[in-house]
Amino acid sequence: MPAGLGSRPEVVARLALVLIVFIACLASSGSWRIYSATWDEPEHLAAGIQLLDEGLYEYDTEHPPLARLFLAAGPYLAGARSYGTPPPDGTQEGKDILYGGDYEEYLMLARAGTLPFLALLLFSTWLWAQRLMPTRGAALTAVALVAGLPAILGHAALATLDIAATATMLLALYAMQQWLATARLRDALAFGLATGVAVATKFSAIPFLGLSLPAVVAMDWVNQRREQAARGAPGFASTHLPGLLMAVSAGIVLVLLVYTPRAPDAGGVEVRWDWAVDYLLQLRGWEHTLGVWFSHATWLPREFKDFLNGVIAVKAHNDAGHRSYLFGQMSPDGWWYFYLVALAVKTPIPLLVAAPFGLWGLARAGWRNRDGWAQAPLVLVTTILVFASTFSRINIGIRHVLILYPFLALCASYALWQAWQAARRLPQRRLAFAATAAIAAAVLWQFSVLWRAYPDYLPYFNETVRHPERVLVDSDLDWGQDLGRLEDRIAGLKVPELTLAYLGTVDFSREPLPPFRLLKLRQPVHGWVAISALARVSNPPGYAWLDAYQPLERVGKTIDLYYIP
């Protein structure tokens, strides 16, 4: 074999990895032509198009611009341009962009901008798997488990930021662990750059990575203390402090560079900056006056002001809370157990069962061998889940903790490998055969979701949930994706007139609907009625009169269609 190509098993593993990525992208894109624009897609598209077209970034600055450029690149090259809708809400701008051209083409091109991040997510999982798994087969199994997760495939099909955030954070966590293991300056630089990319993709990377670093450092410190007791190894601070300074500097520079290519917009920047200072200080009297004076007297780069404004906007959103739904209840503050429930009902059961065993098994092996790589999944999963559960008041979907899934898949793969080896070592042939058959059946069950749920990966719930709308709805079941299906169905039924209750970001005046009216609260009607799950849970008492009737059918996974005589 020519030099540089690697051994035959390595080549086969790489080809298998490419095949897994291809299948995942193909499966994910299956919903492109089926789903209408979901709730967040128009605004993400508007922000990216504005930056490419006008050099401005004024829509929904709670999110940084990097991934939005990927989402907007395809539509922009196809002719999409800004319409100049006044900021800060870019939803109408996004709708004008979509409906102003070829709606389906623009939406598909925007969604295609997420696929590179899906590929990056699977590649980053492969990097972790090579460190943690005992064989290439187990490593590929871990990647395949991530590629077959409905929550991953469902959100990878949309022009949103959640898969991009998951991919870039996973890569940054890998780079962090690599630097901690080697203490090399080049690894510190890679960690800093990867962190900068993650922060420039979504601001949730700041707390997730910011808390993960001290958690893993503490883990390594314990290992170092044990190593010192055994062999007198050098202290952590003396080996890693220069690298930490380099990583922080590299991350800051990269984030500011992402905010740099902008047209002059001094007025808008200053308005947003003044708001951010006012909110951050939240003082009255001389303290507030002094803080405002100091913020204006101190020169700060425009890029830094833009960045900090976005971070503070996210903090303000979280402080105010977000109307969330769980188990039939609405709350502006969320629930500490929201993400635990979401993981329990949105994760295929085989992975849900296997992952905790693998998490514990890896951590135990890592503790025994003082191996930080093997201990890292337990530390990272615990840190991120505890933070999200205790701090976040924006409980609107499993999408906010997708970063947990690669680690759960890695641990599940490890548990499956351990179980497979144990089954093969059983002395009784029949018992060994039964055990291996059970493991194979569990794997088949896990991957059967790929064809059982296709193309509706977004609203997938596992077999423990018969009525998903009674558990979770917003972005986990209904994100406004089924309006196009409703239009096709009522066209087939030749519905002459429709009463509709639907929540989403579409322009009804430009949709191919028959004559329709919006369903008002507490006002029963007759004839054809359609109501989406998100609309229904937004005000259950207002639509309670519909409980006396049985829907003719459910359109897609989220819209009930009635005929009321």
For the segment 31-58, what is each residue's pLDDT rounded down to a tens digit? 999 999 999 999 999 999 999 999 989 9
The terminus-to-terminus CA distance of the chain in angstroms comes to 75
Q: At residue 1, does pLDDT exceed 80?
A: no
Q: At residue 3, does pLDDT exceed 50?
A: no
Tokens coding 531: 């109501």
What is the helix (H) or strand (E) element at residue 553, kind and residue range? Answer: strand 553-555
Q: At residue 520, does pLDDT exceed 80?
A: yes
> Which among 454, 484, 459 has a CA at the least distance from the CA of 469?
459
Q: At residue 230, does pLDDT exceed 60?
A: no
**Of 63, 81, 113, which residue sits at a domain end?**
113
Flag whether 541 is in a domain: yes
pLDDT band at 357 (very low <50, low <70, confident <90, very high): very high
Return all residues near 535 (Cβ < 8 A) that are at least 6 apart: 501, 502, 503, 543
Flag whether 511 is in a domain: yes
Total number of domains constituting the chain: 2
Pairwise CA distance, residues 108 & 424, whole Å: 47
**Of 86, 113, 140, which residue sits at a domain end?**
113
Q: At residue 511, does pLDDT exceed 60?
A: yes
Q: Provide the residue range defining the domain that includes 545.
A: 482-564
Q: How many residues can be counted in the chain?
A: 565
Collapsing DSSP states into helix, strand and coil, what is residue 554? strand
Burial of 125 (0-12, 13-18, 19+ CB in 10 A): buried
**Of 90, 113, 136, which residue sits at a domain end?**
113
Beta strands in 247-383 (DSSP E): 324-326, 329-331
List phi, psi (to 5°) of 223: -65, -40
Question: Mean pLDDT over all residues of the chain?
Answer: 91
pTM over 0.85: yes
Tokens coding 545: 């009169």
Pairwise CA distance, residues 33 & 161, whole Å: 20
Flag whether 396 is in a domain: no
Q: At residue 238, does pLDDT exceed 70?
A: no
Return all residues near 223 (Cβ < 8 A) that are at least 6 apart: 370, 372, 375
Our separate counts of H helices and E strands in the chain read: 22, 7
Work out the number of other CB atoms within 10 angstroms of the CB of residue 91. Answer: 17
Flag whether 420 is in a domain: no
pLDDT at 237: 61
Tokens coding 492: 């087939």
Pairwise CA distance, residues 266 & 398, whole Å: 38
Alpha-carbon separation of residue 163 from 103, 125, 379 (angstroms)? 23, 13, 22
CB of 334 closer than 8 Å to CB of 322: yes
Pairing of strands 553-555, 516-518: unpaired
